[in-house]
Chain A
């Protein structure tokens, strides 16, 4: 609702925000690749997939620190 009433100038915003979003997506992809390749993880794989997907940066960090067995 607020988005509709306030006009956000995306042409100013995009060059600042986009790199941040791209780096976050790269981190997420690396975490997913590692999760896919891993033979076994601490805890079920699908839970880790959800954590990586929905917990922004710290989800991937938590997977790398806690989830990986060979870490």
Chain B
């Protein structure tokens, strides 16, 4: 436990020094706030765009607050995940390439505390960034569109944090066996996309897939309930996260012993 907290503090320090604790939350906040604002002003923007033929009538219903908040999650599904993966793709491979990792494991340090600290720092940064952006989107959707039920919004946020944790764990696992940062980012995002597409195409076979977490979060925000199997998805997602962590520990320990 002492080793873990030491490594965790070291990761936090590194993330602060590389400005990650500043720019990742700010970018999340910007994208979260921009979505409701641009939807709110969309009719005006189109009206002033100018190159419409005379007499064009565009009728876009202004979305309700919950709808807008759910759309923001859709935004985070693409750009948010991209930014998180880009920010943290080097978290393990950079240390391996610079040789720091070999120097660390010269001493009797448990692989679990090392990997666990990396994992916790990924979750801390992505969770905090997401919650800041979500709060911004919530505020604007609430005041520009319509009020959002608090309980449903919090449930949606928790589910989405779990989805981001799953992606963070996948990133850590992928970076345990790949060296190039670009390959790590590509594989992680590709994996997440393939999972989402497959569970959209084959809803019957992948009803419990972790990629349903983000869809379920959107459902919760809009309706307050979900049509999916909540328990099964939660259990499977947490299982996947644990499996990714164990896999990372296993690969790193094998690589260091050789």
Contacts and interface: CB of A to CB of B under 8 A. Distances in A.
Q: Do A and B come from the same complex?
A: yes
A61 B27 contact: yes
A20 B34 contact: yes
Contacts of A27: 23, 26-27, 30
A30 B26 contact: yes
Residue from B22, B34, B140 with most neighbouring chain A CB atoms (10 Å): B22
B18 A30 contact: no
Interface residues of B, number: 23
Nearest to A37: B19
A70 B40 contact: no
A64 B23 contact: yes
Interface residues of A, number: 21
Contacts of B144: 16
B55 interface: no
A55 interface: no
Interface string A21-49: 00110110011001000000000000000
Nearest to B19: A34
A35 to B, nearest CB: 10
13 contacts: A16-B37, A16-B40, A16-B144, A17-B37, A27-B23, A30-B19, A31-B23, A57-B31, A60-B27, A61-B27, A61-B83, A64-B20, A64-B23
Interface of A: 2, 6, 16-17, 19-20, 23-24, 26-27, 30-31, 34, 57, 60-61, 64-65, 68, 70-71
